[in-house]
Amino acid sequence: MIDDIMLDAEERMESTISNLVREFSKVRTGRANPNMLEHVQVDYYGVPTPVTQVGNISVPEPNQLVIKPYDRSVVKEVERSILAANLGVTPQNEGEQVRIVLPKLTEETRKVLVKDVKKLAEESRVAIRNIRRDANDGIKKLEKSSELTEDDAKGYLEDVQELTDRFVEKVAEEFAKKEKDLLSI
């Protein structure tokens, strides 16, 4: 039972870190990154489909993305979907493909993006602490029902805290990488 609690807490914390990294990849840094289009859905013959599945995405230059749909008839739909996604970019329809030129980030924009990234990191820290609370509650319930001794429960609570500290440190590392990426010109 205690192994289930510990395993569940670790898996949920890993999931939180994965989600944070995924959210960070959506924040543009002035350099082209196909991940920024990951959540864009294209209406492909009536079915919402990720843009990554309707065409090939390439990075011809550091500040450009080119989406070349496998089916030329959806070029306008790809363009419309990118505009609707509010990415802060304007796609250019070139007939057979869609080109996105990323504008240079101003110092002010960079600072705003760092604030946004900091907020995402803090939300992840809170999520990890909530997972810790859930695990601690589970351990205390086992202690109350006499399935664990007081000493064992104390040891497991310390293990959960160590796990929490490790994952909070991972959040800090990911934030530091993204902040450096955003502030470098």
> In the numeric block, which tokens belong to residue 166?
């490790």
- Which letter, b or e, does each residue of 76-107 get, where b requires 16 or more Cβ atoms within 10 Å of its Cβ? ebbbbbbeebebebebeeeeebbbbebeebee
**Structural domain of 150:** 2-26+106-183
One domain, residues 63 and 152: no
Is 73 found in the same domain as 18? no
Statement to judge: residues 46 and 136 lie in one domain: no
Distance CA 137, CA 157 (A): 10
10 exposure class (CB count in 10 Å sphere: 0-12, 13-18, 19+): middle
Q: In 51-184, which ranges are E strands?
A: 55-58, 64-69, 91-93, 98-101
Tell me, yes or no, whether 143 and 168 share the same domain.
Answer: yes
- What's the pLDDT at 185? 63
What is the separation, in whole angstroms, between the first and last Cα of the chain?
Answer: 51
CB 50 within 8 A of CB 42: yes
Pair 12, 70 in one domain: no
**For all residues of the chain together, what is the average pLDDT?**
88
pLDDT tens string 115-126: 989 999 999 999
Specify whether the CB–CB gap between 157 and 20 falls below 8 A. Answer: no
Q: Number of structural domains, the chain?
A: 2
Give the whole-number percent of the chain exceeding pLDDT 70: 98
pTM for the whole thing?
A: 0.73
Q: Is 19 in the same domain as 42? A: no
Compute the distance between CA of residue 90 and CA of residue 67 in angstroms, rounded to an integer: 13
Q: Are residues 148 and 122 in the same domain?
A: yes
pLDDT tens digit string along 56-115? 998 888 888 899 999 888 888 888 888 888 777 888 888 899 998 887 878 888 888 889
Residue that terminates a domain, selected from 101, 132, 152: 101
Average pLDDT over residues 32-59: 86
CATH number at residue 148: 1.10.132.20
55/74 Cα distance (integer angstroms): 9
Would the pLDDT of 53 be above 80? yes
